[in-house]
Amino acid sequence: MAVSRDDAPAGRCSTVPPMSRAVRAFAVAVLVLAGVVMAPAAAAAPPPTITASASPAELTIGAMTVVSGRLSTAGAGVAGVALTLQAAPYPLHAFTPLAQVVSGADGSFTFAGVRPDRNATLRVVSEEGKTSEAVGPPLAVIVDPAVYLRARRLGPGQTQLAMRMRHAVVGAATPVSAWWFVRARGSRVFRLAAVTPTRELSRGLLYASATVDPPSRRFAYRVCLNPPWESAMGAAGAHGRCPQHDFVLRGAHG
């Protein structure tokens, strides 16, 4: 291209030499490269997430809970991903696999028939492959022992109280003391009536009984014990040393 100058001498013309092919190619390359650098980077896909819950979260030994939830990315369900249910039973040292399913069309999943035999923490994890690995939230499941109580009148002033308790097999099957308390109808005081040893009818089935003089024709009773497996079962608030004397139960009536 030509550029004129007003102060050039008459009869003469000053020009800028045309751009060579090599220079033009270099300029085009710089423009293309600049376009690549300046182009906005594509947004990275957010990592997948797992939402899950266990229902019920507290159950009696032998009963089942169901773990269900959803695998999603940015709110959209992710289908066809292998998911593993893991459990860390008491004393909660390590997770081990329990079962595996594949996420549905909307990313949902269900693990049915989960039957923990002691307190446990559950979680759901995805297998790497179609998505990066995702780990669901820890789900605390409380397992209570199954208790069966029976009272049988033997005669005047004699009633046999008996208890069977299905429990987790944790530690040694060591006999412990069972503390029996009775409460007359209309009273709030539980009185210590007997202390007897426990025994295992079979592995995981504890038994204890006592013969007491009931305080009235109709009465309530309680039995307390501190077995070796106590920490493996039930809510933390249900644990504590057994009273070794009469006590008043707050809220007792009838």
Residue 197: count other Cβ atoms within 10 Å of its Cβ: 10
Rounded to an integer, what distance in angstroms lies between the CA atom of residue 249 and that of residue 111?
A: 40
What 3-state class would DSSP assign to 186?
coil
Tokens of 153: 């009148």
Give the residue numbers spanning the domain of 182.
146-248
Do 91 and 55 lie in a common domain?
yes
Do 153 and 241 lie in a common domain?
yes
Do 241 and 151 lie in a common domain?
yes
Q: Which of 91, 126, 143 is the last residue of a domain?
A: 143
Residue 81: count other Cβ atoms within 10 Å of its Cβ: 22
* Residue 28, in any domain of the structure: no
Do 136 and 167 lie in a common domain?
no
Q: What is the pTM of this model?
A: 0.78
Do 100 and 173 lie in a common domain?
no
Rounded to an integer, what distance in angstroms lies between the CA atom of residue 192 and that of residue 25?
A: 102
| pLDDT for position 250 | 77
Residue 28: count other Cβ atoms within 10 Å of its Cβ: 10
| pLDDT for position 39 | 47
What 3-state class would DSSP assign to 194?
strand
pLDDT block averages, 10 residues each, the chain of length 254: 37 45 43 44 75 98 98 94 96 92 97 97 84 89 98 95 97 93 95 98 97 94 96 93 92 56
| pLDDT for position 254 | 52
Nearest to 14 by CA among 6, 5, 24: 5
Q: Which long-range contacts (CB under 8 A, 24 or more apart) does 224-228 make?
A: 224/178, 224/179, 224/181, 225/176, 225/177, 225/178, 225/179, 225/198, 226/176, 227/167, 227/174, 227/176, 227/198, 228/170, 228/171, 228/172, 228/174, 228/176
Rounded to an integer, what distance in angstroms lies between the CA atom of residue 207 and that of residue 198?
A: 6
205: domain CATH number?
2.60.40
Rounded to an integer, what distance in angstroms lies between the CA atom of residue 93 and that of residue 75?
A: 33
